């Protein structure tokens, strides 16, 4: 008797387009790829791309929205599974490190470098991504300070902004060397600046 083989459900074309476009943005930047690049990779026509995303601006905004949603989901999982504030920060840094180890950059980080040339809706979406991350970090920092495991000068919002800025900059500077250890070293120093108890 023949054994039926389970088939994986087909990935919708729009998702495949976003997957390819995300990789291209994270490795080349938003200005560094065209619809022709995506179409060639997927073996479809540019008309098919325009059917799902009328223009590159719409594609770019959809990329940020999806990336932000995935990142937010990762933060929710950290909140659900990681109890201590120090460990939450470690897990947050790991999100960036995994992207860099895959030889990519943070999508919104690389778009921030092209910010002035982006369409308005994309710029707004990039700002929302960083605002949401800063708010999450500020909450973690505030709770960690209240628990006595984290210590920082100024407001939690200022400390959160410094952490994001430092991590994004560390990714950028590690990239030319293709060496994630440069990022990891810089990230450890950043976290050491807010840790009150080395044992956590």
Using one digit for the tens of pLDDT, what is the confidence trace for 47-58? 999 999 999 999
Question: Residue range 27-50: average pLDDT?
Answer: 94
**Residues comprising the chain, all counted:** 200
Q: Is residue 149 part of a domain?
A: yes
In the block, which residue shows the tokens 């060496």? Answer: 179
What CATH code is carried by the domain that includes residue 90?
1.10.357.10
Backbone phi, psi, residue 150, to 5°: -125, 150
Q: Which residues contact 169 (CB under 8 A, 6 or more apart)?
A: 186
Q: How confident is the model at residue 3 (pLDDT cuts 50, 70, 90)?
A: very low
pLDDT at residue 9, rounded to an integer: 62
pLDDT at residue 7, rounded to an integer: 59
- Domain with 121 in it: 57-192
Higher pLDDT, 196 or 160: 160
pTM: 0.89
In the block, which residue shows the tokens 């932000």? Answer: 68
Side-chain half-sphere CA neighbours of 102 within 13 A: 15
Q: Is residue 197 part of a domain?
A: no
Tell me which DSSP letter residue 193 carries.
Answer: T
Q: Is residue 17 part of a domain?
A: no
**Domains contained in the chain, number:** 1
Q: Is residue 135 part of a domain?
A: yes
Using one digit for the tens of pLDDT, what is the confidence trace for 143-175? 999 999 999 999 999 999 999 999 999 999 999
Cα distances (Å, whole numbers) of residue 14 to 4, 9, 66, 124 = 29, 14, 12, 22
In the block, which residue shows the tokens 């060397």? Answer: 177
Question: Residue range 32-56: average pLDDT?
Answer: 94
Q: Is residue 11 part of a domain?
A: no
pLDDT at residue 195, rounded to an integer: 85
Q: How confident is the model at residue 12 (pLDDT cuts 50, 70, 90)?
A: confident
Using one digit for the tens of pLDDT, what is the confidence trace for 70-123? 999 999 999 999 999 999 999 999 999 999 999 999 999 999 999 999 999 999
Q: Is residue 90 part of a domain?
A: yes
Question: CB–CB of 129/71 below 8 Å?
Answer: yes
Q: Is residue 198 part of a domain?
A: no
Q: Is residue 47 part of a domain?
A: no
Spatial distance between the Cα atoms of 97 and 120, rounded to a whole number of angstroms: 29
Determine the 3-state secondary structure of 116 from DSSP: helix
Cα distances (Å, whole numbers) of residue 177 to 3, 173, 174, 200 = 50, 8, 6, 32
């Amino acid at each position: 008797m023949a054994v039926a083989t389970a088939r994986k459900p087909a990935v919708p074309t729009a998702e495949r387009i976003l997957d390819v476009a995300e990789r291209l943005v994270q490795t080349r930047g938003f200005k560094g790829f065209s619809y022709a690049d995506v179409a060639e990779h997927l073996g479809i026509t540019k008309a098919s791309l325009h059917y799902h995303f009328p223009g590159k601006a719409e594609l770019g905004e959809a990329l940020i929205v999806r990336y932000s949603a995935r990142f937010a989901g990762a933060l929710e999982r950290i909140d659900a599974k990681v109890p201590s504030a120090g460990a939450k920060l470690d897990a947050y840094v790991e999100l960036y490190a995994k992207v860099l180890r895959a030889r990519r950059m943070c999508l919104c980080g690389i778009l921030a470098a092209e910010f002035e040339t982006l369409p308005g809706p994309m710029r707004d979406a990039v700002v929302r991504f960083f605002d949401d991350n800063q708010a999450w970090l500020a909450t973690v920092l505030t709770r960690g300070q209240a628990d006595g495991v984290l210590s920082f000068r100024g407001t939690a919002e200022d400390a959160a902004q410094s952490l994001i800025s430092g991590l994004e900059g560390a990714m950028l500077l590690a990239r030319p060397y293709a060496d994630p250890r440069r990022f990891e070293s810089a990230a450890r120093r950043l976290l050491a600046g807010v840790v009150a108890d080395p044992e956590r």
